Amino acid sequence: MPSAARLTKVGADRNLHSFRQIFNHFAKPEQRELGMEITGAEIVVKCLQAEGVEYVFGYPGGAVLFIYDELFKQDKIKHVLVRHEQGAAHAADGYSRSSQKTGVCLVTSGPGVTNAVTGIATAYMDSIPMVVLTGQVPTPAIGQDAFQEVDAVGITRPCVKHNFLVKDVKDLAPTIKKAFFLARSGRPGPVLVDIPKDVTTAKCEFLYPDVVPMRSYNPVTKGHPGQVKKAAQLLMEAQRPMIYAGGGVVLADAAAGLVRLAKLVGFPVTNTLMGLGAYPGTDAQFLGMLGMHGTYEANMAMQHCDVLLAVGARFDDRVIGNPAHFGSVPRKIIHVDIDPSSISKRVKVDVPIVGNVADVLDELIRQLEPLVSRIDQKALKSWWAQIELWKARDCLRYDRASPIIKPQFVIEKLYEVTKGDAFVTSDVGQHQMWAAQFYKFAKPRRWINSGGLGTMGFGLPAAMGVQLANPGATVVCVTGEASFMMCTQELSTCRQYRLPIKIVNLNNRYMGMVRQWQQFFHGNRYSESYMDALPDFVKLAEAYGHIGMRIEKPAEVEPALREAFKRTDDLVLLDFLTDQTENVYPMVPGGKGMSEMILAEEL
Amino acid sequence: MRHIVSILLENESGALSRVSGLFSARGYNIESLTVAPTEDASLSRMTIVTTGSDDVIEQITKQLNKLVDVVKVVDLSEAPHIERELMLIKVRATGKDREEMKRMADIFRGRIIDVTESTYTIELTGSGDKLDAFIEALDRAAILETVRTGASGIARGERVLKV
Ligand SMILES: Cc1ncc(C[n+]2csc(CCOP(=O)(O)OP(=O)(O)O)c2C)c(N)n1
């Protein structure tokens, strides 16, 4: 298949007729329909087919009816009908996160778009590739306050990587091509294409280009070799080195490179909440997650290291806390990231390397290999000895003898029963932090959570996308009763598509994370954080045609999990009644330094 | 510190709001902003005058570069450059002030481009400081209306901002 660039060149110096012949001759059948005019709606579907899209997560409405009509007439793309557009966006997002593919969602104009915005912003904050197609009122009606009109491009501009309003059917195919290209290249992100209804009925020839040249968009890949060399030298001079890896490693599929690098040098590694799974959670060099609820050893090592290698991470406020406190300890920082604007944003760095994390890690390994004999092994040994002392604090300790179910215990058992091999999605709150702390992810793309935006309601719809991207895999949604009720309606979608997700509801009858902050920082005044009048979750699951189980005693936890995971074809909701007073430790209070942790024994 | 940033961007609908939205969302200042298509109608050239510490200006340039519609960004203040702004100013010009007004316009190399029995409209270009100085030199009561374009800028010498 020749590239479109070449074709365009050929086309440019011949007449259009011969260009057509050439294109028709070379192009895959799904990429061309020259000499024949088809509607915009057909073009949308053909573009998605040409992209190899398996699933579209969506919800119909007036502005997208012609597109839905075309979806109806074909069977290559399967449409997944959610119960709320937020669910469509989260499902497409979960599909992307758990695979190397780009999730697609399709919603109607007006309320369809506004409902999807939370999901789009969630994907944006975590740099998740996603293409969002939105219906729009017909072009002549735009700006007339037409029925179900919103300025979709305007509303979503600050929470997408890029967006387009297609005003001419001829621009439709190239725009969709651009959308997919933008979504997954460079620093990935959601891209929205707003399509007015009259554009879906207008006709033109169809040609899906292989590439669309964009002079204004040239993401870098390779890092600057001179900078990589400097980084290698700095690492070899370290007395107390540390590797801090974030979601960028997962997104760049660079986990293998990270492991090779860490093994080559023997340095300690920590992962951010978004990076979990980038480095195997059970490896001896792994210090656990860092940050606001990171382990004591990871936070202390981060604070006290003298050379820090930051890879695909962005020093955000939930990770380093107060940047001034972090900066009060002298250390050299090497920062590898695809996005130059992430570098030196919150923390000044010494060796910035802009590039694709996977490529840069390969180059760094290549340059380090001949140098590793220079590592000061004595210093490294005493650094590890210090880290072992920190580890000995056993900061994740909890009361295992408790007669009430401890949420940490549920996650530990979940890890055991699923042999650490499940895809785990989560909502937002304490349960999210316990899942991150206690489920030891061995592989990337297994831990699916909303780290940047912190969106309650994410877990269940994201799990749907994960299950569809990974048929046959074990998919668990760890949630809290408050979060779960933000997208409960998707239980109906799970029923329709027979998605055998296991829902682990850590039910503490509180918005636990809010309650914890109120306990620590607001004098135990639990303002509006108690969840009164909760539904019976077992009956709720049953009402949607699923299985529900209530677990009230620690001894029942493991048998219940085993029973649930035996049911590989069913969705099972496990409602664990957990300790209402349990808190997440360690905790770095907002605005504090990362070594200023509150530990369990201190309260 | 005051900086003058030049941006070459795709002449697409919405490109301007991407830039202005970036400034408001991230809390950067805009002192002035001018934009118009270039000799290549597919491109617009924008000049933004902003203020901020070196760190902030670094973030501004990086964030601008990240916008998909932005082709190139240059901080003109980093090297010798020329800045010009256009002002149209309508002044009262009656009696003995009429002659005085004409004299002031001449001193500042302004041009009178519209005349009525009681007013002049003067066109003046120059740096922002020069335009400020002209306003200062006039009797406030004589000023009926002013309109300023904000600064446009270009590098001195052979440096060019082009695709
Ligand atoms: C959409 C949304 N609204 C509000 C919040 C603020 N918030 C963060 S955690 C939390 C409580 C979550 O409670 P629950 O889901 O029961 O989980 P728990 O903390 O008890 O494990 C709230 C309200 C949020 N993150 N997202």
Q: If you count them, how many residues does chain A have?
A: 603
What 3-state DSSP class applies to A588?
Answer: coil
**pLDDT confidence bin for B163, thresholds 50/70/90:** confident
The stretch A10-20 carries a mean pLDDT of 38
Ligand 1 centroid, distance to A514 Cα (angstroms) = 7
**Residue A186 pLDDT more than 70?**
yes
Among A164, A216, A217, the strongest candidate for a mutation testing the B interface, having the largest count of B CBs within 10 A, is A216
CA A250 to chain centre: 9
> pLDDT tens-digit profile of A423-477?
999 999 999 999 999 999 999 999 999 999 999 999 999 999 999 999 999 999 9
Chain B: closest CA distance from residue A453 (Å): 16
Closest CA to ligand 1's atom 3: A456
Q: Which residues contact B80 (CB under 8 A, 6 or more apart)?
A: B155, B156, B157
Burial class (CB in 10 A: 0-12, 13-18, 19+), A541: buried
CA angle A80, A82, A87 (to 5 degrees): 115
The answer to whether A429 and A583 are in contact (CB under 8 A) is: no
CA neighbor of B100 nearest in space, from B86, B115, B120 = B120
Q: What is the pLDDT of residue A602?
A: 64
Give catalytic residues of A, as residue numbers: 85, 147-148, 197, 513
Q: Which chain A residues in 169-188 lie under 8 Å from chain B, judged by CB atoms? A: 182
The answer to whether B43 and B9 are in contact (CB under 8 A) is: yes
**pLDDT confidence bin for B13, thresholds 50/70/90:** confident
Q: What is the dihedral of CA A375, A379, A383, A385, to 10 degrees?
A: 120
Radius of gyration of chain A (CA): 25
CA B1 to chain centre: 17
Contact assignment for A341 to B17 by CB distance below 8 Å: no
Phi-psi region of A256 (alpha: psi -120 to 50; beta: other; left: phi over 0): alpha
Ligand 1 centroid, distance to A428 Cα (angstroms) = 5
How many C-beta neighbours within 10 Å does residue A249 have? 29
**pLDDT confidence bin for A5, thresholds 50/70/90:** very low
| Encoded tokens for A545 | 């045609």
CA neighbor of B40 nearest in space, from B17, B8, B81 = B8
A215-235 burial code (b ≥16 CB/10 A, e <16): ebbeeeeebbeebbebbbebb
Q: How far is CA B129 from CA A519, B41, B83, B124, B135, in A?
A: 57, 31, 10, 12, 10
> pLDDT tens-digit profile of A83-119?
999 999 999 999 999 999 999 999 999 999 999 999 9
> pLDDT tens-digit profile of A490-501?
999 999 999 999
What 3-state DSSP class applies to A402?
Answer: coil
pTM: 0.94
- Cα separation, A194 vs A39, whole angstroms: 16
> pLDDT tens-digit profile of A304-351?
999 999 999 999 999 999 999 999 999 999 999 999 999 999 999 999
| Encoded tokens for A588 | 């770095």
Asked if the bond preceding A330 is cis, omega within 30° of 0, the reply is no
The answer to whether B60 and B52 are in contact (CB under 8 A) is: yes
**pLDDT confidence bin for A3, thresholds 50/70/90:** very low
The stretch A249-277 carries a mean pLDDT of 98
Contact assignment for A165 to B17 by CB distance below 8 Å: no
Q: How far is CA A362 from CA A62, A225, A255, A359, A365, in A?
A: 50, 11, 11, 5, 5
- Cα separation, A353 vs A367, whole angstroms: 14
**Residue A2 pLDDT more than 60?**
no
- Cα separation, A376 vs A371, whole angstroms: 11
What's the farthest any 2 CA atoms get from each other in chain B?
Answer: 57
Q: What are phi and psi of A255, to 5 degrees?
A: -60, -40
Contact assignment for B59 to A345 by CB distance below 8 Å: yes
Q: What are phi and psi of B71, to 5 degrees?
A: -90, -45
> pLDDT tens-digit profile of B93-108?
999 889 999 999 999 9
CA neighbor of A241 nearest in space, from A304, A313, A322, A287 = A304
Q: Which residues contact A584 (CB under 8 A, 6 or more apart)?
A: A293, A430, A433, A434, A437, A513, A516
Strand order in the sheet with A190-196: A78-81, A55-58, A103-107, A130-136, A190-196, A162-165
Q: ipTM, 2 decimals?
A: 0.93
The stretch B24-44 carries a mean pLDDT of 96
**pLDDT confidence bin for A17, thresholds 50/70/90:** very low
**pLDDT confidence bin for A531, thresholds 50/70/90:** confident
CA neighbor of A267 nearest in space, from A294, A237, A227 = A237
> pLDDT tens-digit profile of A382-436?
999 999 999 999 999 999 999 999 999 999 999 999 999 999 999 999 999 999 9
Alpha helices (H) in A405-504, listed in sequence order: 407-417, 430-438, 459-469, 481-484, 490-496
**pLDDT confidence bin for A169, thresholds 50/70/90:** very high
Ligand 1 centroid, distance to A291 Cα (angstroms) = 18
How many C-beta neighbours within 10 Å does residue A185 have? 18
CA closest to A185 among chain B residues: B68
> pLDDT tens-digit profile of A557-585?
999 999 999 999 999 999 999 999 999 99
For A482-502, the three-class secondary structure string (H helix, E strand, C coil) is HHHCCCCCHHHHHHHCCCCCE
Pick from A157, A215, A344: CB nearest B18: A157
Q: What is the residue-averaged pLDDT of chain B?
A: 96
B54 shares contact with chain A (CB less than 8 Å): no
**Residue A22 pLDDT more than 50?**
no
Q: What is the pLDDT of residue A8?
A: 33
**Residue B130 pLDDT more than 90?**
yes
Contact assignment for A161 to B25 by CB distance below 8 Å: no
The answer to whether A364 and A261 are in contact (CB under 8 A) is: yes
Pick from B9, B14, B63: CB nearest A341: B63
Whose tokens are 């994960």? That residue is A466
A346 shares contact with chain B (CB less than 8 Å): no
Per DSSP, what are the bridge partners of residue B155?
A: B81
For A323, the enclosing helix (H) or strand (E) is helix A323-327
**pLDDT confidence bin for A27, thresholds 50/70/90:** low
**Residue A220 pLDDT more than 90?**
no
**pLDDT confidence bin for A21, thresholds 50/70/90:** very low
| Encoded tokens for A432 | 């999210």
A216 shares contact with chain B (CB less than 8 Å): yes
DSSP B55-106: HHHHHHHHHHHHSTTEEEEEEGGGS-EEEEEEEEEEEE--HHHHHHHHHHHH
Q: What is the residue-averaged pLDDT of chain A?
A: 94
Is the alpha carbon torsion for A314, A316, A318, A319 positive or negative? positive
Q: What is the pLDDT of residue A4?
A: 36
